Structure 1
Amino acid sequence: AALTTAQVNNLATASLAALSTAGIAALTTNQVVALTSAQLSSLASAQIAALSSNAIGAIETADLSGLTTANVAVLRSAQLAGLATAQVAALSTNQIAALSTAAVSGLSTNQIVALTTAQASSLSTAQVAGLSTAAIAALETADFAALKSDAIAALSANQV
């Protein structure tokens, strides 16, 4: 990638949004770190989907709020695997709710432990049903208690 981090940081949001998905996919982790919240929120869902798991993991915790729910909805489990526990804890309840069932089912037990009670309460029935038995066991007591009653009712025999 030829652009310096300073050049990336100073790109107008419209200019960044105009980059092709191949151009976005070519961003290095250092270039992704240089992106601002405003720049991140200007990216289309297809551009977010093009980022590698390392690039997603490079997004600064404070800048994750720049991702729209539409952006978060296209994240794959492999991309979420790149997030540190502090980054998972920084996601808003709306962002958590927007994650696909497949993406949530790919969260590690450490990432599940990092969920706040408010985040756990925002999980949908389908998201909870997709969790592994290890992930269900990793939920903190308060987080499990915060799950919607429909989600509790949908637990499989193995999850109980």
Structure 2
Amino acid sequence: MPRQSRQSTTKRATTQTARIGGVRKVIKTRADGKVTITDALPLEWELQAAQCRALRDMPEYGKQFLFAGDQNAAKRGQTASAQAKAAGMTAGEPDLRIYLKGGRLGLIENKVGRAALEPSQVTRHPALAALGHPVVVVRAVTEDDAAAQAVALVRKWLAGNDNEPSC
């Protein structure tokens, strides 16, 4: 005779992220059944995209600085991953490279809130700093904050103040 499975009467707390009306939301269900819905934090790429928009809008863009972005953490299939690695994509590379007038380079890594650096970043960022290219980690929980921090950094670098990137 087949064994019957017992259904658990113990409820667990759950958390999931879903889009509601096109907006990412966090849905938490407590063990007692109470449900709360809050706005989800932005994804790291969304912070970076907001920074790119804000940096392009600066009057100095194209005259005193340019930038390039990476998404080394993007999910790729086995073939695409091998191609990216063969073409020089390096794990741990900062998200944005800011090319400043005078041959200087600024590097920005984005993290949402208190998110930890990836192991490859823990290795790569000090190696870059040892060569004279320190990486600034921008921590933000909104796109506007990430954009404002990036603009402030670039303005500081352009003015030659603290945290001036060197080559």
TM class by shorter-chain length?
under 0.3
Going by fraction, where is helix more abundant, 1 or 2? Answer: 1
Going by fraction, where is strand more abundant, 1 or 2? Answer: 2
Task: Mark the structure with the bigger radius of gyration.
Answer: 2
Q: Using CA pairs below 8 Å that are at least 6 residues apart, which structure has the higher relative contact order?
A: 2
